[in-house]
Structure 1
Amino acid sequence: MGLVYLRELNNETKFAIWKIEESVEELLGRLQLDEREKAKLESLSKGKRTLHWLATRVLLRYLLRTEGYIACPSDENGKPFLPDYPYKISLTHSYDYAGVLMSQQGECGIDLEIVKDKVLRIKEKFLKPGELGFIQNNNVEQLYACWCAKEAVYKLQGNKGVSFLDDMTILPFQYRPQGVMTLMLRKEKKTYAFQVYYEKFQNYMLGYVIDQANP
């Protein structure tokens, strides 16, 4: 596995992306798994899903600077957490890459997606007409930036209970290869504002968010 991107946003928040080049056996050789994790691994379909799961756990050890065992269970909604460390975390993967975001500032979310034209076919499923109105000439990269932003906030707030289309609204923004957008989340009769960062990474789009203002 090769570290291809490491970014420290501040003293409390950082993320990293790794390119997965090892086999399942090589990744397993760098981990210690408990019985629950071994069962989880057995439940995954072989191939990329197994590699993604293993790679995020190896990457966690890199970011936490330990070769020892790290407990990383998930709650009832599939949101991962670290019971033995003071970090909130979010995990992502796409094709040959795996990513981890960790923060002591608050809940966080990260999403990595390979950029493909197929997003043009589903854009109305996750963007309202008003949001589609500011997309520049059906810009595929801008559409992916919007998807990654909504996915990152979805992960941040707990993997449940909100709709990309109905409950999240992105305010108009001018797309650049790296930038920030404002996303409004409506949940349980309250509205929250998030600043979501996005950037083009090779032929992928990356979106990430840290909850610094909302309770």
Structure 2
Amino acid sequence: MAIAYRQQIDDDTEFALWKIEEEADELYKQLQLDDTEKAYTKQLSKSKRYLHWLGTRVLLRKMLKTEEYIDCKVDTHGKPYLVTLPYHISLSHSFDYAAVMISKSGPVGIDIEQIKQKVERIADKFLRPDEMAFISEKNKIEQLYVCWCAKEAIYKCNGQKEVSFADNIFLKPFHFEGHGNVDARLLKGEKNIDYQVNYLQYNDYMIGYVKE
């Protein structure tokens, strides 16, 4: 399967989606892995998580246009980074899709989620009452997913643990469309950062992406 969707954000920032239709062995053969990564993949073998891990790494290779080994590590906060290449990266996955965002000029965050009704049951866990107040009944589920993806994208972009979606990430009111942006702010300790998060509905998936 080739890249399913690709979008250039600015001169050195883009994201792409990969629809995972391959078997795990086919994806594995497209990668170069060190011993630690090989051992890690054995722990994931035969799970959906394994396909997701492989899918994001194959997509990363395609976007960086390299056949060389990519040293992709994860820091103590769980944020992935490239050891030897000058890119900020963010990885996400949901069901049949992997998503990767890269940039040379600043931290990025991306989240992809399959749109399901169940998000309504947990909305009060990640939205405050003032945020719930601007959710419209017309596109309620889609708008809730925009909110979730926006907060998740900011969380990944910031790259620090112990950030509460409800208590530290604040969204301004917006009207849902098939694509658009949401103004947001991260407030935690001395951090006070404004973000403009973009979102896109792609078939039955919602994508939120941001660059600091």
TM exceeds 0.5?
yes
Any conservation in 2 of the 1:2–1:21 contact (CA below 8 Å)?
Answer: no
For residue 73 of structure 2, give the secondary structure of its aligned residue in structure 1. coil
Residues 190-201 of structure 1 aligned to structure 2 (within 5 Å): 190-201=191-202
Runs of 5+ consecutive residues of structure 1 not aligned to the other structure: none
Give the equivalent residue in structure 1 for 2:19: 19
- Separation in 2, partners of 1:45, 1:174: 42
Any conservation in 2 of the 1:131–1:170 contact (CA below 8 Å)?
Answer: yes
Q: What is the CA-CA distance between 1:105 and the residue it aligns to?
A: 2.0
Q: What is the CA-CA distance between 1:157 and the residue it aligns to?
A: 0.8
Residue 98 (structure 1) aligned with residue 98 (structure 2): yes
* RMSD (Å) for aligned C-alpha atoms: 1.1
Give the equivalent residue in structure 2 for 1:166: 167
Residues 63-212 of structure 1 aligned to structure 2 (within 5 Å): 63-137=63-137, 139-211=140-212
- 1:82-104: per-residue Cα shift (whole Å, max 9, x none)? 11111100000000000100011
Residue range with higher mean Cα deviation, 37-46 or 17-26: 37-46
For residue 136 of structure 1, give the secondary structure of its aligned residue in structure 2. coil
Q: What is the CA-CA distance between 1:8 and the residue it aligns to?
A: 1.1
For residue 78 of structure 2, give the secondary structure of its aligned residue in structure 1. coil
- Separation in 1, partners of 2:158, 2:178: 26
Tell me the amino acid that sits aligned with residue 155 of structure 2: Y
- Separation in 1, partners of 2:11, 2:136: 36
- Separation in 2, partners of 1:95, 1:54: 13
Residue range with higher mean Cα deviation, 180-189 or 112-121: 180-189
Q: What is the CA-CA distance between 1:45 and the residue it aligns to?
A: 5.6
For residue 81 of structure 1, give the secondary structure of its aligned residue in structure 2. strand
For residue 166 of structure 1, give the secondary structure of its aligned residue in structure 2. helix
Any conservation in 2 of the 1:105–1:210 contact (CA below 8 Å)?
Answer: no
- Separation in 1, partners of 2:205, 2:72: 26
Task: Calculate the TM-score normalised by the size of structure 2.
Answer: 0.96
Give the equivalent residue in structure 1 for 2:58: 58
The number of residue pairs the alignment matches comes to 211
Q: What is the CA-CA distance between 1:159 and the residue it aligns to?
A: 4.2
Runs of 5+ consecutive residues of structure 2 not aligned to the other structure: none
- Separation in 2, partners of 1:159, 1:203: 29
Any conservation in 2 of the 1:2–1:20 contact (CA below 8 Å)?
Answer: no
Any conservation in 2 of the 1:150–1:168 contact (CA below 8 Å)?
Answer: yes
Tell me the amino acid that sits aligned with residue 210 of structure 1: K
Tell me the amino acid that sits aligned with residue 143 of structure 2: Q
Residue range with higher mean Cα deviation, 38-47 or 156-165: 38-47
Q: What is the CA-CA distance between 1:11 and the residue it aligns to?
A: 1.3
